[in-house]
Structure 1
Amino acid sequence: MKKFLGSILISSLLLLAGCWDSLELEERAFVSGIAIDLTNDNTNNILNVTEQIVVPSGLIILPASSGSGKGYRNIVEQGRTIYEVGDIIERQEDRKLDGSHIEVVVISDEVVKDEFELADVVDIFMREKRMNREVILSIAEGSAGELLNIEPQDVKMPSQYLTQLIVGNYRLVGGDPQRFGNMQQYFLRKRSFTLPLLTTKGSSTGVELDGLAVFSGENSKMVGALKNENVDGYMLIQPMYNGAITAEYDGSFATFHIPDGTTKIKLKNKDPENLHFEFETSLDAELVETFYSEDFFAHKNMKKLEDSLKKRVESLITGTIEQVRDEYETDILGLGEHLKTKEPKIWKQVEKNWDYGENYFKDVEITLSVNIDIRETGNSVDTD
């Protein structure tokens, strides 16, 4: 019995010894967001980094409190790497910096257009074992640090507001933004991709999701951006789509909700030098608003309505294809991925020169097959 109790005591002491260097919560400074910019004079490739640190007392609103205290504070420092900046900031803190609760990282487009490759800038976030893999990566049009200084109305922290803004907009169309957990596959396989593009220009709320930043798989640099209608066209050709489209109808307009949309990619030939793809898009639509009085239950009027929506969808997708293929010459359309999974023999022939080098992608032919099924037209009907 004494031996048994002795073994328990020794085990307990060993467990306690294993925690001798652990930190209590109050000894940690939690980072919630990071913004990365260039310095005003970037001759030495120095980064200007803003780290948003949680202030716990500012997040608590007591009944007798006005709740006016900030739930965060921003610290700005410069350095050659993100780790170096973190080390500089930590020397100013009375607590240990903890990045395990970072929600969003925002990088200025000026950083990743010419100066740096994105893969190099974010290397620490993927290499650090304790880093949260669900961190959202986004691009700022202009200053990234400015986004961490906005004053949101409904939440206490700008980083939290940015996270909710990005996720909410992606969910509207049935998608999910890029997170650090799946970025490594793009860098290692040299795959092109998009990231949410944020701006403060002309926004009544301080910031808005302005489009999608387009990155080349060759060097992970930003080559351009999709905005407005070209974002709509890009979303329409995703495997699953849920959104709204406004189409012109007899000189007026009609808005449709798309609860169920799908797109399939088909390869029409097998000649690597002359590839022909088809986007087969099928949309179930509901008419939710129109500025035109019509009995849409009548077959001829329903056909006109479907044709107007089909024409609009084709126009949106075509505009996106032209910008991505002809201007950016960068495959964010999923054609290379289709070849890799469905036609591996062809992919092996073109893989090393798909959307860079000889660039087979810029010469592919892409046609559309759009099928519209308007299942509901609402309760209004012309009774004359």
Structure 2
Amino acid sequence: MFPRRILCAICFSCTLTLLTGCWDRVEINQRGFVVGVAIDKPEGESKSTYKGTYQMVVPGGLKLSSANSSSTNNNPHAGQAYFNISTTEHSMPSIAARISSRTSRSPYFEHLRMIIISGDAAKHEASLPDILDYYLRNSEMRRSVQILIADGKASDILGIFPNNESTPVDYISSIAKNNQKTNYMLSESRIGDVHEFLIKHESFVIQTIKKEDGGVTLNGSAIIDGKTKQLLGFLNGEETQGLNFITKRIKGGIVESKVDGQIVGLKVERSNRKIYVQQTSPEHVNFTIKIIVEGTLDKSITNIDPSEGKIVDALEKSLEDTISSTTHKVIKKLQQTYKKDALGLGAYLFQNHNKMWKPLAANWEACANLFSQAGIDVQVEVIVRRVGNIFESTKE
């Protein structure tokens, strides 16, 4: 009988521990949902000081319908779906704590969608991991949060008017997904991928954002040094296009060239890349990068019949020269200006030619900087699959 009582007491105690599962529950109407974070470096402040801007959604504002949107004309803040709040502190946890003391709902990051870091904040040594560490460790965070480097003030980006969207974060996120329409910007840079690059000490690129004409543009990319973990500089849209071809990031977009003084456009449908490597000496390697691009003629040409074989050959040759020139521009800039392997050639050697890579690894981007001395040749093949049905867009 006595053992039964002990057994019942043990079962009862275990049941009590299960009933404490909601001890830290917070009601949804008491949470401050942060959807966007902007990090700037205040002028005149020390290197360890950051200005953090949180974009927090207003659930009631998200319900605003088009039927009563006209009533907000007299009061632009009425029914607004979000608000921005800023403060300056020495660390990311301190920023979150300070903002908690200034808003009725403490910041909650489970729905955070993007972190925008200004170029000034990212240019100092180890600044990027210093900023991202708090968000990587936060149990509320997701590895899919988008990371952007702002060419200018990051807080200005969160203050733009969100055309056709409820919040600026929704607006920016929609633009970032348009890499199937343009190859002048990178695919989305996620915090999980950035974390892996930082751990591996590999140089890499992050999607760039810039305020322009009341909106934003995401053309171009930012180069991050894998050793010092800081921003080195930016690539423009054309250079980013060349980088995308080399790194197999092309999802679509248009490539333009000239034939007989006229602009032709190729709508890219498929793009593939193969790398071949040859070691000519213990400290020198040559890379041959073969790029195959397939697409459709996306612009009619006056007085030229693109269905003729010779014309198609001329179109393909012109487009090949354009892509080759673009890729060699970005290779030259990375090898001579930045001396950083954002092309991922070192990672390719590590994965596919590890025995060759081991003696080169220590000096690939440091000391002798073998990356800048490597031979890199790009060979491009363009295949025009379709030329369309309209040969002339004008008629006498």
Shared topology, TM-score over 0.5? yes
Tell whether 2:36 aligns with 1:33: yes
Tell whether 2:164 aligns with 1:154: yes
Alpha-carbon shift at residue 235 of structure 1 (Å) = 1.4
Match for 1:223: what amino acid? L
* Residues in 2 aligned to 1:16 and 1:28: alpha-carbon distance in whole angstroms: 23
Alignment match, 1:188: 199
**Cα offsets for 1:212-236 (capped at 9, x unmatched):** 0011111111111110311111112
Match for 1:353: what amino acid? N
Residue number among 206, 209, 221 corresponding to 1:198 in the alignment: 209
SS at match of 1:114: coil
Task: Give the TM-score of the pair, scaled to structure 2.
Answer: 0.89
Alignment match, 2:23: 20
* Residues in 2 aligned to 1:29 and 1:349: alpha-carbon distance in whole angstroms: 52
Contact 2:186 2:207 in 1 (8 A): no
Superposition map of 1:295-314 within 5 A: 295-314=305-324
SS at match of 1:269: strand
* Residues in 2 aligned to 1:175 and 1:88: alpha-carbon distance in whole angstroms: 34
Alignment match, 2:378: 368
Report how many aligned residue pairs link the two structures: 379
* Residues in 2 aligned to 1:121 and 1:46: alpha-carbon distance in whole angstroms: 11
Contact 1:240 1:262 in 2 (8 A): no
**Cα offsets for 1:115-160 (capped at 9, x unmatched):** 6521111111112222111100001111000111111121111122
Contact 1:170 1:177 in 2 (8 A): no
Stretch of structure 1 that moved more, 88-97 or 253-262: 88-97
Contact 2:179 2:253 in 1 (8 A): no
Alpha-carbon shift at residue 205 of structure 1 (Å) = 4.3
Alpha-carbon shift at residue 270 of structure 1 (Å) = 5.2
**Cα offsets for 1:292-315 (capped at 9, x unmatched):** 322222222221111111111111
Tell whether 2:225 aligns with 1:222: no
Residue number among 86, 94, 97 corresponding to 1:87 in the alignment: 97
Stretch of structure 1 that moved more, 353-362 or 62-71: 62-71
Contact 1:238 1:262 in 2 (8 A): no
Alignment match, 1:239: 248
SS at match of 1:370: strand
SS at match of 1:225: strand
SS at match of 1:106: strand
Contact 1:253 1:292 in 2 (8 A): no
Contact 1:79 1:85 in 2 (8 A): yes
Stretch of structure 1 that moved more, 91-100 or 186-195: 91-100
Tell whether 2:348 aligns with 1:338: yes
* Residues in 1 aligned to 2:64 and 2:391: alpha-carbon distance in whole angstroms: 52
Tell whether 2:258 aligns with 1:255: no
Alpha-carbon shift at residue 21 of structure 1 (Å) = 2.3
Match for 2:169: what amino acid? S
Distance 1:9 1:26, change over 3 A: farther
Match for 1:258: what amino acid? V
* Residues in 1 aligned to 2:355 and 2:332: alpha-carbon distance in whole angstroms: 27
Alpha-carbon shift at residue 109 of structure 1 (Å) = 0.1
CA RMSD of superposed structures (Å): 2.4
* Residues in 2 aligned to 1:320 and 1:46: alpha-carbon distance in whole angstroms: 34
Contact 1:265 1:279 in 2 (8 A): yes
Residue number among 333, 343, 355 corresponding to 1:323 in the alignment: 333
**Cα offsets for 1:64-91 (capped at 9, x unmatched):** 5326521111111111101111001112
Alpha-carbon shift at residue 381 of structure 1 (Å) = 4.3
* Residues in 2 aligned to 1:63 and 1:162: alpha-carbon distance in whole angstroms: 22
Tell whether 2:220 aligns with 1:211: yes
Gaps in structure 2 of 5+ consecutive residues: 73-77
Match for 2:189: what amino acid? Q
Distance 1:290 1:205, change over 3 A: farther
Percent identical pairs in the alignment equals: 27
Contact 1:240 1:260 in 2 (8 A): no
* Residues in 1 aligned to 2:163 and 2:378: alpha-carbon distance in whole angstroms: 44
Contact 2:93 2:134 in 1 (8 A): yes
Tell whether 2:277 aligns with 1:267: yes
Task: Give the TM-score of the pair, scaled to structure 1.
Answer: 0.92
Alpha-carbon shift at residue 31 of structure 1 (Å) = 0.7
Residue number among 97, 110, 119 corresponding to 2:120 in the alignment: 110
Distance 1:170 1:109, change over 3 A: farther
Alpha-carbon shift at residue 105 of structure 1 (Å) = 0.3
Contact 2:186 2:221 in 1 (8 A): no
* Residues in 1 aligned to 2:83 and 2:330: alpha-carbon distance in whole angstroms: 40
Match for 2:196: what amino acid? Q
Match for 1:33: what amino acid? G
Gaps in structure 1 of 5+ consecutive residues: none
